[in-house]
Every structure is written in C-alpha cells, then in structure tokens.
Chains A and B, each alone.
Chain A
Amino acid sequence: MMDNVFGLYNYWVVIFLMMTGFYIVISQRNLIKKVIGLNIFQTSVFLLYITIGKVEGGTAPIVSEGFNVYTNPLPSVLILTAIVVGVATTSVALALIVRIREAYETIEEDEILAQEKLT
C-alpha cells in the first residue's frame, strides 16, 4: 500500500497534473486559460518521460571512473524535442488568439459562438 503511494510518487504527480490540465482545457471558456491547461497537460507528459529514464542509484550519464550505473539519457533528450514542440504549439496558439481578438474583440469561446450565430 505505502509502496504504491510513495514508491510511485512521481507517477501520481504525473496523473494529477495530466488530469488537471485536461480538465482545464475542457472546462474553461477563455482561450488563454485553455492554452495554459494545454501546457500543464503537456508538462505532465514531460515528467512521465523523465521518470521513465531514472535508474535507481544511477548518476548523470557522463562516463567517469568510479561510476558504473548511469541514468538513461534518451528520455531526457526526447523530451527536449517535445518541449520545443510544446513551445511552438503555445506560440502558434497565442498568435491565433491575438488574431481572434482582432476579429471578434473577445477571447471568450461562448461570446465568439454567440457572434457567429448572429451573422
């Protein structure tokens, strides 16, 4: 029981963040808040990958004398790419929001929908 709670501590954090982010994306009507939710959602996956890469008792993966066990560097490298993708996604999203604001003068999803219904 305690092993499940503390031994898998990282995974619980990942799941909590993932669901938080996902919930924000679904429930919020404000576009900026949606983007923030999306970011939390993506960040949880970054944590998942980094947790996968950790080897118990391993050091940083730099070859030197006296160390035999190294942490797996590959997931960290992968996540570096995923972080770049996340930043790109956020910037595209924010750019779209700026243009939505210019076109509709609001960034609330329901107000945009209401304007569409009228026209």
Chain B
Amino acid sequence: MIKQNLLALQIVIPLIAAPLCILLRRRALVWGFAVLVCWLTFGISVVLLRQVLETGLVSYEMGGWAAPWGIEYRADPLSAFVLLFVSGIGAIVLSSAGLKDTALDEIPVSRQYLFFTLYLLCLTGLLGITITGDLFNVFVFLEISALSSYGLIGLGGRRQALPAAFQYLVMGTIGATFILIGIGLMYMMTGTLNMADMAERLVMADGGRTALVAFGFLTVGIGIKMALFPLHIWLPNAYAYAPSLVTAFLAATATKVSVYILLRFVFSVFGVTFAFETLGLGGVLMFLSLLGIFVASTVAIFQTNIKRMLAYSSVAQIGYMVLGISFASTTGLVAGIVHLFNHALIKGGLFMAMGCVMLRLKSVDIEDMAGIGRKMPFTMAAWAVGGLGLIGIPATAGFISKWYLIRAALEQNWWIVAVMVLISSLLAVIYVWRVIETAFFKEPSARAREAREAPLSMLLPTWVLVGATLFFGVMTSTSAGVAGRAAEVLLRVIP
C-alpha cells in the first residue's frame, strides 16, 4: 500500500505538514514535528532511489488518471538522485534549528513557526519540480517553492533582506512567467502536457518557429531561476541577507533544482539533436558559463561580507555545472550532475559553518572574523574543509566534479576549456585562502575575542555535510555511479 504510493507521499507529506506547523506554534513542538517530517521525506527518497536503480523507472498516476491525460509523477535515476540530496540536505539543515542557542535565533520568536511552515512548503515545491512528469505541474511547484523562498529571505534580521527578497520576487516571477509562456507554446504545438508524450510529439510536430520561440523563453526563464551568469543579479543579496539556515538550504538546493529543470527540458523533452545540433545551445552555454565562472570568482575575491562572497562563488559553481552540460556528452553530463550533488554538500556545509559564525559573532564580515579560528576551531575547520572542496583538492568531492569536467573537455579536444577550468580554480584558491588566513593567522578582532565554540546541535549537522564531501570524494562509485546512470538515461544510451 505505502510502497505503491511512495511517489505521491514524497510530496504530500511535507505539503500537509506545512500548515500543521502553524497550529503547533510552540518552538520545541513545531521543530520536532518539522524535523520528523523532513527525515521521513528523506527516507522515502532513499527507498525511491533504490527502487529506481533496480527497475529504471517508477511512475505514478495521480488520482488514477492514465498518463497523457492525467498528471503523472515519475522518477528516473536523475530525478531520484536530485530528490535524495534535496530532501537529505533539507533534513540536515533543519535538524540544526534545535531548541535553543542556534541559528534560528536570527529570526524573531514571534515568526519562528512561520519559518518552519515556509521551509516545508519550499521543500515541497523543490521536490515537486523534481518528481513531476507534467509540464504545467513544473510551473506550479516552481511558484510554490519560489513564493515560500521570498518569504524565507524576508525573515532575515537585517533590513537589507527586504529589498533583496523583493528583487528576487521580481526576477523570479519574470523567470517563471517566461517558463509559463514556453510551456504554453509547447502545448500549442503538441496538445499535451505530459513530458514523455511531449517528447514523442515534438519530433512529429516539427514546430519550426514556434518550437524555437518556446525553447528561447524556456532557457531564459530557467536561466534566471538557476542564476546563470549574467542573469544572476538577484542571488548575491538574497543569499547574503537571508537567515543563515535559509541560505544554507536554498544555496544547496534551489539553484540545483533549476539546473535539473534545464536538464529535463533540454534532454528529455526537446532532445539533444534539436537543442545542440540544430540550435547550437552548447556554444552559448559554454561561453556564458566560462564567462560566469571567471567574473563571479573574481568578484567573490573582493567581497567583505563572507556570505556574499560564497553567494558569488555559487554563481561561479553554477557555471561549472552548466559547462558540463554544454558538452552534451556522457562524461560532460556526469560532471554536471555529480557537481549538482557535490556542490550541494559543499555549499550546504559552508553556509552552515557561516551560520555558526553568525550565531557567535553576530556578523559575517571578514574583519570581524579575524582570529576566529582559535576560538571556534571546529567551525572554522569545517569551513576550511568545505573551502578545499570548493577549490577541488583531491580527496574532496569537488575534485571529482572537476576531474570529470576536464576529462569531458579533453574528450572533445577542448583543451583550452580544460586549462580555463584549472585557472579558474586558482581564483577559488584566492578567495578561500583569504578567509582561512584571516580566521587562523590574524590577531583576534574585538568580537572574536568574546566568541566561543558553536553548540554541538549546530556543529554536528555542519560536520555531517562536510564529512559527506570527504566521503564522496573518496567513495566516488556511489555518487558518480548514479550520475552516470542518470546521464545515460538523458542521452538515451539505454532506453
């Protein structure tokens, strides 16, 4: 009974739990409940991934209506993989919200129960985008996750959070509306909203100009949502001024799910031939991602607010994912998909560490962080390991992504791209080292002198994420293996 309805439960459980959080209200109660729901969701996604790896595809008909007419939920290796890390990071980050003395204290007590409601709604939206096989459903879930994330960012303690949330709202709505236009035009050509059905009919429809326009609107819309350079301007402020827990969650999941949408639309719906051979999407994506990597990494070096610095680094890292996708080869896709996962862990861990710093220093400015490594050794050690992952040092998860990326570039004789990936890693060395040097080798600032180590309830989740980057840096067969399966399905190497 439960086993047949897993796909529906994945969405329904957090969706129903979200409004219940308003009824519970008391912090201890609502936290326990929300964490339980998150771990339950994670458990479901683990079972789902195992099922998918056995059978290749799990499908569910919503309300018993058969596929092309009804709404279909389907999980293939790619969506199951994304579901797994989105729900996993959601659960780990929320676990750290704890009872007292945590990063949750950044949010006024009277609004804390709303944080949990919005958090679960956002999780529902992100999981929904990933699991659905219906185009219009993608738009609906996109807006569920987006609207709740505007609210979450607006909960930030400093007033800058409000204009940041508003800017994100304007950009996000334009992006989502572009996606809506694209979906409408595709429906116009084919008369179906089911992705698998659409893929078959698009080949026959030969939409010509309509297909071209639909594709344009979709890629630009998704580009805004995933903060692809130069459509990233909403991201740095939103991440810098949102509450630390929100930043950790959104940075690790939201843009990754948008990259997933891109993969889904380009490879599963439009097909490689149309997107890459007819339209030459690869060249555009490669140019923009390389430009984004260099510009965003350089800007990151000059930031004084470290959360903002990590946000710019996120824009650069999105570039690496898109660069992998732009090769349209199996290795390139593996690089892109595995970096989705690795970067989610790395950035999640780094922003969690920033949450610890924010809790003790009430600031994330680099000047205030001077000498903090002596007072908060475990926090900053976690930061350092995460930072090494960001650079791509061997034995961290980041190395695996870059390894596949460079291999993919060399496969197609793009040796200049491979060299640029290596050079851009040096930029990451600069901005990561700047923080490590300040934190460990400088005289403590006034704020750092009074700081003490973050509580275990926050250190533990931080180290789980950072530890995972080390684990998956060594045990590559798991993450890269699943990513390989996903890439093969996307390129239809195996049916």
Q: Is A52 an interface residue (CB 8 A)?
A: yes
Q: What are some 9 contacts across the A-B interface (CB < 8 A)?
A: A34-B170, A45-B181, A52-B184, A89-B143, A89-B173, A93-B166, A93-B169, A99-B154, A103-B159
Q: Is the CB of A89 within 8 A of B147?
A: yes
A78-B136, A92-B147, A100-B162 given. 4 additional CB < 8 A pairs? A81-B136, A81-B140, A85-B143, A116-B163
When distances are taken between beta carbons in the complex, the residues of chain A under 8 Å from B163 are 100, 104, 109, 112, 116
Q: Is the CB of A96 within 8 A of B177?
A: no
* 7 A-B pairs with the lowest CB-CB distances in the bound complex, closest first: A103-B159, A85-B143, A100-B162, A96-B166, A52-B188, A49-B184, A99-B162
Give the complex CA separation of A82 and B165 in angstroms.
21
Give the complex CA separation of A73 and B160 in angstroms.
44
When distances are taken between beta carbons in the complex, the residues of chain B under 8 Å from A100 are 162-163, 166
**What 1/0 flags go to B183-212 for Cβ under 8 Å of A?**
010011000000000000000000000000
Give the complex CA separation of A49 and B180 in angstroms.
9
Q: Is B113 an interface residue (CB 8 A)?
A: no
Q: Is A17 an interface residue (CB 8 A)?
A: no
Give the complex CA separation of A24 and B159 in angstroms.
25
Considering the complex, give the chain A residue whose CB is closest to the CB of B137.
A81
When distances are taken between beta carbons in the complex, the residues of chain A under 8 Å from B169 are 89, 92-93, 96
Q: Is the CB of B187 within 8 A of A52?
A: yes
Give the complex CA separation of A81 and B166 in angstroms.
23
State whether A96 and B162 are in contact (beta carbons under 8 Å apart), knowing that A25-B170, A41-B174, A89-B147 are contacts in the complex.
yes
Give the complex CA separation of A75 and B192 in angstroms.
11
Give the complex CA separation of A108 and B386 in angstroms.
40
Q: Is B378 an interface residue (CB 8 A)?
A: no
B423 vs chain A, min Cβ distance (A) = 34
**What 1/0 flags go to B112-156 for Cβ under 8 Å of A?**
000000000000000000000000100110010001001100100
**What 1/0 flags go to A93-119 for Cβ under 8 Å of B?**
100110110011000010010001000
Give the complex CA separation of A19 and B177 in angstroms.
13
Give the complex CA separation of A48 and B180 in angstroms.
10
Q: Is A22 an interface residue (CB 8 A)?
A: yes
Q: Is the CB of A116 within 8 A of B143?
A: no
When distances are taken between beta carbons in the complex, the residues of chain A under 8 Å from B162 are 96, 99-100, 103
Give the complex CA separation of A52 and B169 in angstroms.
28
When distances are taken between beta carbons in the complex, the residues of chain B under 8 Å from A60 are none
Give the complex CA separation of A85 and B146 in angstroms.
11
B243 vs chain A, min Cβ distance (A) = 15
B341 vs chain A, min Cβ distance (A) = 30
How many chain B residues have a CB neighbour from A under 8 Å?
24
Give the complex CA separation of A34 and B163 in angstroms.
13
Considering the complex, give the chain A residue whose CB is closest to the CB of B178.
A45
Give the complex CA separation of A31 and B162 in angstroms.
12
Q: Is the CB of A42 within 8 A of B187?
A: no
**What 1/0 flags go to A34-50 for Cβ under 8 Å of B?**
10001001100100110
Give the complex CA separation of A52 and B191 in angstroms.
10
A30 vs chain B, min Cβ distance (A) = 12
Q: Is the CB of B150 within 8 A of A82?
A: no
When distances are taken between beta carbons in the complex, the residues of chain A under 8 Å from B173 are 38, 42, 89
Q: Is the CB of A25 within 8 A of B166?
A: no
Give the complex CA separation of A112 and B167 in angstroms.
12
Q: Is the CB of A92 within 8 A of B150?
A: yes
Q: Is the CB of A38 within 8 A of B174?
A: yes
Q: Is the CB of B174 within 8 A of A48?
A: no
Give the complex CA separation of A112 and B154 in angstroms.
16
Q: Is the CB of A45 within 8 A of B166?
A: no
Give the complex CA separation of A52 and B189 in angstroms.
10
Give the complex CA separation of A100 and B162 in angstroms.
6
**Restricting to A21-70, which residues have a CB under 8 Å from any CB of B?**
22, 25, 31, 34, 38, 41-42, 45, 48-49, 52
- Which of A45, A78, A96, A104 is close to B150, meaning CB atoms less than 8 Å apart? A96
B209 vs chain A, min Cβ distance (A) = 13
Choose among B165, B169, B181, B188 the residue with the greatest number of A CB atoms under 10 Å from its CB: B169
Give the complex CA separation of A41 and B180 in angstroms.
12
Considering the complex, give the chain B residue whose CB is closest to the CB of A37.
B170
A113 vs chain B, min Cβ distance (A) = 8
Give the complex CA separation of A38 and B174 in angstroms.
8
Q: Is the CB of A82 within 8 A of B187?
A: no
B33 vs chain A, min Cβ distance (A) = 25
A24 vs chain B, min Cβ distance (A) = 11
Give the complex CA separation of A100 and B160 in angstroms.
9
Give the complex CA separation of A109 and B164 in angstroms.
11
Q: Is A88 an interface residue (CB 8 A)?
A: yes
Choose among B159, B160, B166, B180 the residue with the greatest number of A CB atoms under 10 Å from its CB: B166
Considering the complex, give the chain B residue whose CB is closest to the CB of A115.
B159
When distances are taken between beta carbons in the complex, the residues of chain B under 8 Å from A99 are 154, 162
When distances are taken between beta carbons in the complex, the residues of chain B under 8 Å from A25 are 170, 174
When distances are taken between beta carbons in the complex, the residues of chain A under 8 Å from B181 are 45, 48
Q: Is the CB of A82 within 8 A of B139?
A: yes
When distances are taken between beta carbons in the complex, the residues of chain B under 8 Å from A31 are 166
Give the complex CA separation of A21 and B328 in angstroms.
36
A108 vs chain B, min Cβ distance (A) = 11
**Restricting to A71-93, which residues have a CB under 8 Å from any CB of B?**
75, 78, 81-82, 85, 88-89, 92-93
Q: Is the CB of B170 within 8 A of A88?
A: no
When distances are taken between beta carbons in the complex, the residues of chain B under 8 Å from A48 are 181, 184
**What 1/0 flags go to B321-352 for Cβ under 8 Å of A?**
00000000000000000000000000000000
Q: Is the CB of B170 within 8 A of A82?
A: no
When distances are taken between beta carbons in the complex, the residues of chain A under 8 Å from B140 are 81, 85
